[in-house]
């Protein structure tokens, strides 16, 4: 299965600023997925990132708030923009390495103050 | 979209006890996985099990795809088993997560 390095592991940010999260995969993958997990909740898919094309966003998530880059087949970034306390969550990236299934990065715990 | 229901939502055990966690899903799936989220938030892949039975140490899982459910068995539980267990199913190419079962194992 794939190994994903996700950075930063945690951060505390001021309102109105932005945070960029990076995920590096140890092998080439077609699709990368970005999730948000609000406190005490399950995982919600933000968007799917394919190399060479714009990300596909799920309902309720927009590119202006969550811009995503996918410059190559092993790397992606998610930026959470114009931060508010409601953005305090764990953010996770994921890849699908069939037949092993989905593997997740270690997560980024964001606190907005 | 597909619905995923996990039960029970919360479970408290004494060390050494056995437990069964259930995942029901509303439609045919291509893939089903069980994850353990530890207290630090990391998601660990336990089983990739779209059908059949698998075992890994004290853990085992069974998926009956025709009846749209999966079971995760934890035997001889340990305090390190504490955390949230998620079932995720894939219909198409996007996985959908259940709400999880929160497990606390007391020494």
Residue A20: which domain range?
4-112
Chain B residues closer than 8 Å to A42 by CB:
86, 97-100
Chain B residues closer than 8 Å to A56 by CB:
none
> Which one of 3.20.20.70, 3.40.50.2300, 2.60.40.10, 3.40.50.280 gives the CATH number of domain B4-106?
2.60.40.10
Burial of A16 (0-12, 13-18, 19+ CB in 10 A): exposed
pLDDT of B35-86, one tens digit each?
Answer: 999 988 889 999 999 999 999 999 999 999 999 999 999 999 999 999 999 9
Distance from CA of B4 to the nearest CA of A (A): 11
Inspect the interface and report whether the beta carbons of A43 and B98 lie closer than 8 Å: no
Residue A54's pLDDT is: 87
Is A32's pLDDT higher than 80? yes
Is B93's pLDDT higher than 80? no
Q: What is the CATH number of the domain that holds A59?
A: 2.60.40.10
DSSP E strands: which ranges in B1-107? 4-7, 10-14, 19-25, 31-37, 43-48, 52-56, 59-64, 69-74, 83-90, 95-97, 101-106
Q: How many domains does chain A have?
A: 1
Residue B91's pLDDT is: 82
Q: What is the mean pLDDT of chain B?
A: 94
């Amino acid at each position: 299965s794939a190994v994903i390095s996700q950075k930063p592991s945690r951060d505390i940010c001021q309102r109105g600023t932005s945070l960029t999260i990076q995920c590096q995969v140890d092998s080439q993958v077609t699709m990368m997925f970005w999730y948000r997990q609000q406190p005490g909740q399950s995982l919600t898919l933000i968007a799917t990132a394919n190399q060479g094309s714009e990300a596909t966003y799920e309902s309720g998530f927009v590119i202006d708030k969550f811009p995503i880059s996918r410059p190559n087949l092993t790397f992606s970034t998610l930026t959470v923009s114009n931060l508010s306390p409601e953005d305090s969550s764990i953010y996770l990236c994921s890849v699908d390495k069939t037949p092993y299934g989905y593997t997740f990065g270690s997560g980024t715990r964001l606190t907005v103050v | 979209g597909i619905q995923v229901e996990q039960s029970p939502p919360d479970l408290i055990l004494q060390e050494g006890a056995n437990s069964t966690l259930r995942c029901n899903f509303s439609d045919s799936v291509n893939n089903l996985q069980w994850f353990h989220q530890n207290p630090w938030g990391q998601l660990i892949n336990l089983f990739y099990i779209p059908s059949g039975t698998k075992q890994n140490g004290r853990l085992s899982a069974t998926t009956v795809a025709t009846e749209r459910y999966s079971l995760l068995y934890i035997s001889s539980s340990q305090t390190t088993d504490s955390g949230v267990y998620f079932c995720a199913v894939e219909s198409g190419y996007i996985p959908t997560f259940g709400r999880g079962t929160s497990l606390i194992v007391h020494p």
